[in-house]
Every structure is written in C-alpha cells, then in structure tokens.
Amino acid sequence: MFQRKTGLKIAGLGLIFLITVPLSARTPSGLTETIDGPHPVVSRQALQPLLARHATLKKKLSQFTPAGHYIVVDTAHNRLHVRQGKDIVLTAVASTGSGTILEKPDQPGSQWVFDTPRGGFSIQSRLTNPVWVKPDWAFLEEGMNVPSNPAERVEQGILGDYALGFGKGYFIHGTLYPRLLGKNVTHGCIRLSDDDLKTVYKLAKVGTPLMIF
C-alpha cells in the first residue's frame, strides 16, 4: 500500500513536470541571452570603439537613402506617397493590382496574374498624353477576339494626361474610374487621380526610386 501511494505521488509529480516544463520553457518576451538583466557598469571610454562603429554603420546605411524625391506605394491600403528624406511630400489615394487571374486560352495551365509587382524599382519613362496599346488579356477578359491588326489595339484617353513607366509594362497613370480609387482593381498598374498624377509627374524624374510593398 505504501509503495503504491508513493508510486502514484511520483507519477503525479512527473505528470505536473511534463505539463509545466514546456509551458514555462519559453523565452519570455523582452528577455534575451545577452541584453537583459543587470549589466556591469562600463565607462563611456570603453564603449568608444563600439559607438564609433555604430556611427559608421548608421552613416553607411543612410547613404542608401535617395537624395531627392522617391515614391513609396502601399498596395494593402492603396496609397502612394512621395517622400523626400523622412518627409512626406504627397499622399495620394491609388488603385493597385486586383490579384485576380485570367487563364491563357492558347497555353493550358498558364495564366496572367494581375498583381502590382513588389520590390524596388525606378522610374524609367515619363510620358504625356499616353496611349494605351491593349494587350491580349484586355480583349480576352471582355470575351473578344484578339485583333490581328495592331491599330485595333490602340485606345486614347484611357490612361490620363501622364504616365510613368517602371518596367515590364507597368505604369503609374490616370484613370477613367476615380470612384474605384482606394481599391485593388487594376491589372497591375498604379492608378491615380488627375491632380495627384500631375503632381507626381512633376516631382518624379527618370531614375526616381520607387518602392512598392
């Protein structure tokens, strides 16, 4: 009887150990192996090499910041910001990619994906009174045949007064549907209102960095 009770107690303690050890084995928030807890008092002189290194590294990092204007696009919230240094010069409501897909009829298993590309880019072209040369998907999406005559692809007045190209056929341009600004509705390009587009066109030059997240 004594051995049975003792055995049960030991088993119970073991069970508690198995339950609590994994729960308490976490590294609590804010505690680290090297930073938290009391530290020995160190003179500022002793810290000088580290401080100097810190200043050097920060300076190196700051050198990547564009000297002039740069553009930041937030695709989640459909906002375009023109910045200079840490200052925001302009915030514009935009429309970015819908994320939808369209199957390519002549290539089974292949599809167009209408995302606004993410990453670091730069303005590669600045156009006034741009003309839209409709790609194949623009016809297929409407259930139309793709024309063989190139002239039938051209549409004017669709892209607004200006367009800023940033590579692979993607542009920042105007829109005929200002009510849809602020929504993810485009085929990958970035749309702005007429007024904002004019301001961005004036501020952005060829080579102006563009960061899209």
Partner 1 sequence: MLFLLLIGLYTGLFPSLVLSRETAHRPTMDAAALIEANRLLEEELTLAGRPQIYMVLDLTAHIILIKSRGIELHRLPITAWHQVRKGSLNGVFRLRARPSVSRPKAAAPAENTAPAAIELQHMPERYDLAFDPGLMISVGQTVRERPWPWVKSLVHEWWNHVAGLLGIVVKTEDWATIKIHLTVSPDTARSLAWTMTDGMPLIIGRTVLARD
DSSP 76: T
150: which residues sit within 8 A by CB, 6+ positions away?
133
Instruction: Look at residue 146 and give its three-state secondary structure.
Output: coil
Which of 24, 128 has the CB closer to partner 1?
24
Least spacing, CB of residue 15 vs partner 1, in Å:
8
Least spacing, CB of residue 169 vs partner 1, in Å:
16
Which of 3, 128 has the CB closer to partner 1?
3
Which of 187, 196 has the CB closer to partner 1?
187
Least spacing, CB of residue 66 vs partner 1, in Å:
7
| Residue 115 CA, distance from chain mean position | 11
Dist CA 132 CA 165 (whole Å): 12
Q: Which residue has the tokens 């602020």?
A: 182
Dist CA 197 CA 203 (whole Å): 10
Residue type for position 200: V
Least spacing, CB of residue 117 vs partner 1, in Å:
10
Which of 74, 161 has the CB closer to partner 1?
74
Comparing C-alpha atoms, which of 79, 18, 99, 55 is closest to residue 212?
79
